[in-house]
Structure 1
């Protein structure tokens, strides 16, 4: 049975290892954001964080708005709408397959039309079969885009605001852009409005959030809009995961590019962590790598913010619990966790510290305790908890025994189940199993 389980889990484990090994581990120091890099008096001893990938540059003139492309002058369809006549292809327009394309020698502009016979693309020459079918598909796609554009124009309330934001950003009028983002903030919290904003404007929202040339206060406002859209809004989260699968990776890279942690940078990083908490927790297929956890560890010990630390612990907890519940041998669970989080004992110390916090909510208490329970189950004596945690556990056992015996109705089955788990764990998981056997023997007498 054990051998069969090992064989079943082996491909997933190989995928995890290959995903981590494929990361760029070169400790290249990335220049600080413009607002920091221009400060000649920046303290050289401030925290430096390394980056493993570079950020793609974005266009300074053209922005995507739903199914439209916009610049300073006007907006036009994102998808080029071909006809039998030559038409100018505007900047950044996407071309359907099967078109004739040329450069007009008089104007120097790129033009395209529906292809006839052998069709030419802008990259290479290919012979296309079924020309008529291709033309029909292009026409059908064009009609669908027109229909979607009509729906956007009739139903979308924030098109003008985002066109204005693009214009302000393009002209460097950042206070005006910030004002528009603040106005949109209250609508982003709404379930329906947040979905509209995210599905139509996420190209802009992510580009502003990750663009180091934009002032940090504008980026922070932009990330607050993203957080408002995704909080308690699963359709938005699903949309981002399906259409922007690299967004989580880009956030980690952007955090790594921070060289000097100032107050405004600290606030931006906090927003980034809030986004990561939601997206990683909802996507079990995302592989958080060793570089990611090193980033989280550095942020955790650099920025003194309790809420931020709790968010990071949630991300670490989600990964550990996910590995724990894999149907594999404990030794493979240990290896899988240690491969990605080699400093696991440091995180045990933090979970033990925060689970004892008198102000911690029950949901966080359960999450962090369950993570400690899972680690101790998988690692045994290789994981050590300190005396203050054991003393806290003793007190919790007495309190939860009293809760189970109070006879209140109706009862919360989940709460009762957790209380029993915590009570039994004192000896079975965090203590001496023999002591538990002796105690149960005396109880039976």
Structure 2
């Protein structure tokens, strides 16, 4: 029976052994050694004691055990020597890999992977109903294809919500010829369906809330960045609030929104979002759709980068790739290099600024650089005018009025079903007009006309 990873406050801690594999020719954000360091921090966040690690470079995964047969034997010996209770791979393992490795390492050793570890951390940290539902859904979708035994242990583990998950049972009436495993899978699929329905209600509630904010014309700035980059500290300083801050990964799961009054008599809503990470599980991206929409619906993204991290540029690249993946790639971005109060070598800042461009150095903790940051933010939201060409249906009367009131109109053309407007609008309103933008025709078509 699989053992649950204990809560961080429980003692003694389970002993974890880490395994990292690098495949030749594979494009990764972090090199193997740094990726394992990140995995070790994840394990620590989950309340585990890391007792050793093993690495291997391969052309491709072993179809049975992921790592080579010789490395499996070496792993067996190291696990025995270190008395490790759980082995965690720095990549997502297939159901077959998990099964084969557990058979070779024995019944007293749990085999896990990065995805399961991140899901466990999320389960420990989720506090709101939305967060708990999202984590529970992600756990079930991850574990369903890996289910090889009775569901009782799984029902107790999933969701981080105590006994609620197990309330669906896991013990159902068997149909003709059904095995207990088939019954368990059917129960889990039913629970997944129920969770998706509940999360859809959450999504609809968020959409109504966002629509209200847009009617009030209060711009929303989403703080995004790699986990532990200092987003919550920055929000606390800007809003003089007390959002939970901890020097650990995924300290913030549920989005937190705070009102901030800017010097130019403008009001902005800042939203602190969950930190990104390399190899972010696809189950989490899907399950946290309602939360991630807070990012994709924002008027401006402030990308917070921990400039003191040795892989700061790689982390920046990882976050930008994830933003594209969730449909937020077209939103204006202001990149800030955070924690400059702890930066010992100024040349690091210069090199990163040259590589990324259009950045500001700040310290969310001490407030250094924040006056320039706030001025730049205000300019991007209220003073920078962006050229747009939109086709607005007559039903979108509010947007038509908004363009006339806040924008600069160059051309108006009434067409069937609506009005086409060309002109300039403030940066804070860009996302509201993006769904109605007129796509530019290819040059070949324009020349034919």
Bin of the TM-score, shorter chain as denominator length? under 0.3
Greater percentage in strand: 2
Could you state the TM-score of these two structures normalised by the residue count of structure 1? 0.25
Whichever of the two has the greater Rg, that structure is 1
More relative contact order in 1 or in 2 (CA 8 Å, sep 6+)?
Answer: 1
Greater percentage in helix: 1
